[in-house]
Structure 1
Amino acid sequence: MNIELIELVEVRLPLVRPFRTSCSADTERHTFLLHVVTDAAEGWAEFGGDPEPLYSPEFAAGAERVLLDHLVPRVTALPRPGAARIAAAMAPVKGNPMAKALLETAILDAECRAHAMPLGTYLGAVRDRVAAGVSVGITDTIPELLDTISGYLAEGYVRIKLKIEPGWDLEPVGAARREFGDGLALQVDANTAYSLTDAEHLRRLDEFGLVQIEQPLAEDDVAGHVELAKLLRTPICLDESIRSARDAAAAIRLGACRIVNIKPSRVGGYLEARRIHDVCVAHGIPVWCGGMLETGIGRAQNLALAALPGFVLPNDISASSRYYAEDLTEAFELADGCLSVPDGPGSGVTVLPAALRRHSVATRKLYQKR
């Protein structure tokens, strides 16, 4: 398989409602796609970061520069750049996992399409439907929060995740538990908003019977998570702290977490995500797939990953309508609390030309074979 063209497509999609976390408040998905054309097929991938380095040190403009100057030249210099060889070619470039994930994923999508193989089959999927939870952002009032949760439960989501931060934690979580009862699978996500000095405060979340508390402390504070885990009954889930299979193995060995959230873009791509899954399964640690407000392109690829056997908890992979009035692919719809894993070649979805035109801001060529 030889690469003929690599282009970056900048897109802006308005969200159906604002999404606020302890890190940022978003009213649109402003990101870029990578389109790779080979002599056998084409592939697509979606950048998991944002225009600003608020959730992650990586941001869109920096990732584009790294791709153009460092990653694309290394990969296109390979005689036949298959997905299995890409990581080694990119390894001399330090960090930048989201940029690496983007390039690897687009080529992997093209390679799977060329062989008429679904991405899920390539990764080792064992199911054709994936349980769907939904992430609920911080709202202005508790009544607004409860109305939002009620709407998602009516749509059929099987788990609710509440974003929390200091000043917005015990009261909204308690209100949700009282309103919807003990039968609701409820968890919270702090996005690194607390420190170990907040341990006594965080212990009060134990009374609400949460599935987990996700990433309460800073991403580099694994030792703090170890100490916090000793104080809480609620399982700690690590997200931002897990950037590789090595990180996952170390965190598990130290007792920093009992659950792991795997976001493929954050860990450098679907191949490393699969390795993290394998490490967690070997240690009896349940995993689930997190979301980054993906369009149908990234959503389809996340579904393929979430169909692996270790993904035993509901995932942050929601229907297209959760975020977008119009998606860039055919809409994903919730049925009985699940989403279907696409079974076509590659990601199994087709980018809709008209929708892409409506939401594209610019297209920039990163490579063209001469």
Structure 2
Amino acid sequence: MKIDRVVLRHLQMEQKSPFTTSFGTFKMKDFILVEAIDTDGVSGWGESVAFHAPWYSEETMKTNWHMLEDFLLPLTFQSPIEHPDQLNERFSTIRKNNMAKSAIEGAVWDLHTKKQGIPLSQALGGKKKQIEVGISIGIQPTVKDLLSIIDKYVTEGYRRMKVKIKPGWDVSVIAAIRGRFPHIQLMADANSAYTLRDTNLLKELDQYNLTMIEQPLASDDIIDHASLQAQLQTPICLDESIHSLEDTRKAISLGSCKVINVKIGRVGGLTEAVRIHDLCKENGIPVWCGGMLEAGVGRAHNIAITTLDHFTMPGDTAASSHYWEKDIIDPEVTVRDGLITVPDKPGIGYEVNRRLVDSYTVSSKTYRKW
């Protein structure tokens, strides 16, 4: 592939309802949509999952734009790309900034598979025709509100409920959910809200048969998580702590977790995500695909990676209509009985709706090699 130009667009989309976690509340989603166009005029699409503020990680939408403009796009234009895997090595001179790397790498993967005439899922090694999905539910004003929302999604057939917790909104909330829904797949996501001083509190969650507790401790930690996991019956799932294949290897070696959440943006792209999947498969560590409130392009990439065989747990890839009045892809992502049918068209399998993209675009800039 010879990339002729790349268009970066700053999009702003309003969510249907606010989404609250232990570190903040989101109503408006600002993100970068990346379009890579080759010399034949074929477009590939990627999406930056960085938020507008450094709550989840140190990256933000603005820092991603800077990294793309000043470092990653020049490396992308450096020479023709025979395969998207080459970008992983080409970008290795740039430390971290994984969400920026993933955004352009995802666009190149989409472009490459369109040129090859095959679905992105197939190119990654996926074989599933349908994927199981769960849903992520933010912190609600009251427990009654939360139970009502869970009831709605259980009725809609979602295969797993993930609820956000934080100090003061944890054990009693989980107890209330289990009292109402004794048999659903249920997990708690702490987004690093606790420390080892909260071990006894977290041990109270063992009685509620949770599928996992996601990232209870610090976002850069694997040592304390190992200590905590040794004291819990409930599997710990690492999210923010895992940025690479090497992080994964160390976490497995230390016994820091029993499950790993793979987010494409967090680990630097699809190439690294596949490698993490393969290592976890070798070591018997289940993986699943987490969500970052993606619009349609990022959601399509999540669907593709989830088709790999060791993604054995329902991910966070809910229907487009759960988040947006109108998503930027045609058709939108839909869920039936907790399942998404994997598209079989080349590339990400969905068409980007340029009219809607234009309506959500705040600004854009085109970059060329010359």
TM-score, normalisation: structure 2 = 0.97
**Alignment map for 1:67-106 (pairs within 5 Å):** 67-80=68-81, 82-106=83-107
Quote the residue 1:257 is aligned against. Answer: 257
CA drift of 1:85 comes to 1.6
Q: Which residue of 2 aligns with 1:122?
A: 123
Name the residue aligned to 1:223: 223
Q: Residue 300 of structure 1 contacts residue 341 of structure 1 at CA under 8 Å; is this kept in 2?
A: no
Looking at structure 1, the residues matched to 119 and 185 of structure 2 have their Cα atoms a distance apart, in angstroms, of 31
What letter corresponds to residue 197 of structure 1 in structure 2? R
Deviation by residue 1:309-358 (Cα, 9 ceiling, x = unmatched): 00010111101111111100121111121011111111111111221122
Determine the C-alpha separation between the residues in 2 that align with 1:239 and 1:66: 23
Equivalence for 1:52: 53
For 2:32 and 2:156, how far apart are their aligned partners in 1? 29
Matched to 1:119, the amino acid is: L
Q: 1:210-263 CA deviation, whole Å, 9 max, x = no partner? A: 000000001222110011011111000001111111111111111110000000
Whether 1:326 and 2:320 are equivalent positions in the alignment is no
Contact 2:2-2:79 at 8 Å conserved across structures: no
The one-letter amino acid paired with 2:58 is P
- Give SS of 2:50's match: coil
Offset, 1:39: 1.9
The one-letter code matched in structure 2 to 1:312 is T
Provide the residue aligned with 2:314 in structure 1.
314
Match status 1:277 vs 2:262: no
Q: Aligned residue for 1:37?
A: 37
What is the DSSP-based 3-state SS (H/G/I as helix, E as strand, rest coil) of the residue aligned with 1:17?
strand
Displacement of 1:80: 3.8
Q: In the aligned structure 1, how far is the partner of 2:45 from the partner of 2:257?
A: 33
- Residue 167 of structure 1: aligned partner: 168
Instruction: Work out the CA distance in 1 between the residues paired with 2:86 and 2:354.
Output: 31
Counterpart in 2 of 1:7?
A: 7
Identity %: 39
Measured after TM superposition, the shift of residue 178 of structure 1 is 0.5
- Alpha-carbon offset, residue 171 of structure 1: 1.4
Structure 1 Cα separation of the partners of residues 82 and 35 of structure 2: 15
Letter in 2 for 1:326: K
For the residue of structure 1 that corresponds to 2:321, the secondary structure is helix
Provide the rounded CA distance (Å) in 2 between the counterparts of 1:303 and 1:173.
Answer: 29
Are 1:75 and 1:81, in contact at CA under 8 Å, matched by a contact in 2?
no
Match for residue 181 of structure 2?
180
How far apart, in 2, do the equivalents of 1:261 and 1:284 lie? 14
Other structure's SS at 1:243 match: coil
- Does 2:198 match 1:198? yes
For these two proteins, the number of residue pairs brought into alignment is 368
Match of residue 267 from structure 1? 267
SS in 2 for 1:285: coil
Cα distance between partner residues in 1 of 2:82 and 2:94: 17
| Deviations 1:31-69 (CA, angstroms, capped at 9, x unpaired) | 110011002421001101101111110001111111111
CA drift of 1:369 comes to 4.2
Contact 2:88/2:272 (<8 A) preserved = no
CA contact (8 A) 2:3 2:80 kept: no
CA distance in 2, matches of 1:166, 1:237: 18
- Shift of the 80–223 alpha-carbon distance from structure 1 to 2, 3 Å rule, reads closer
Q: 3-state DSSP class of the match of 1:91? A: helix
Gaps of 5+ in 1: none
Q: Contact 2:120/2:347 (CA < 8 Å) preserved in 1? A: yes
Does the CA-based 8 Å contact 2:88-2:271 persist in structure 1? no
SS in 1 for 2:351: coil
RMSD between superposed Cα atoms in Å:
1.1
Q: C-alpha offsets along residues 243-298 of structure 1, whole Å, 9 cap, x if unaligned?
A: 11111111111111000000000000011000000000000111000000111111
How far apart in 1 are the matches of 2:240 and 2:252? 15
The match for 1:347 is 348
Q: Which amino acid aligns with 1:267?
A: V
Matched residue SS, 1:301: helix
**Counterpart in 2 of 1:19?**
19
- Whole-angstrom CA distance in 2 between matches of 1:328 and 1:201: 42
